[in-house]
Amino acid sequence: MRSLRLSAAVAAFVACFAALAGPLRLAVVSGETVANCSNFETQAGAQTYFLAAGGSPARAVGSLDPDRDGVACETLPRPYAGYATIGYNRKRGFLFGVATMPARAGGGYACLYGNAAETGGIRRVRLFRGSPGHGSRLAGDDVSPAEAEPGSGRLLWKLDRPSLPRGSYYASFEGRYWPHPGGSSECPAFSSRPTELPAARGSR
Ligand SMILES: [Ca+2]
């Protein structure tokens, strides 16, 4: 099992998302903090920690993602969050991305459907330039709906953008319709990690 130090940045990030993560218990072994799924009460809480710690299909972060699909602790209960990416096809001038959603223990995948308007609608994406909390939304950026692939548990989206300045961008998947006041959503909003994208041809 790999281990990692709980950096100040990760600790701050986890504190900010304490409501999502629920009580967090991380075992400390010889001064190092070990991440495993038993430390978390919800899948979304584990996913939040996983991303803050630099998790990806190439980095499992302790034992949070042994199957290396970028989704942490699929066996934990709701709420659920996925692993999202964003990219830019400079030659053809379009933004694109995919979100891998948690597999349910009983079969199928969590949170492929649902948006702020409809519980049964497909997830919607909004695109931002900058960093989360400080990003500016791209004009005309709604990709509604994203395409859900129930067989693979993925959400796909694509947006033509022939003009694009170089910069850091991220995709944010809208949370599902809140079922009742004060209730908890099974599918809260989640975002890709901000990713540096090249400028479009002829742009800077
Ligand atoms: Ca996984």
- Please state the rounded mean pLDDT for residues 164-192: 85
Q: Which of 5-14, 18-27, 56-65, 129-138 has the highest mean pLDDT?
A: 56-65
Query: For position 2, what pLDDT does the model report?
Result: 39
How far does residue 74's CA lie from ligand 1's centre (Å)?
6
Centre of ligand 1 from the C-alpha of residue 11, in Å: 22
Q: pLDDT for 36-70, tens place per residue?
A: 999 999 999 999 999 999 999 999 999 999 999 99
Q: The pTM is what?
A: 0.83
CA distances from 141 to 1, 57, 66, 150 (A): 41, 27, 34, 24
Q: For residue 159, what is the enclosing H or E element? A: strand 154-160
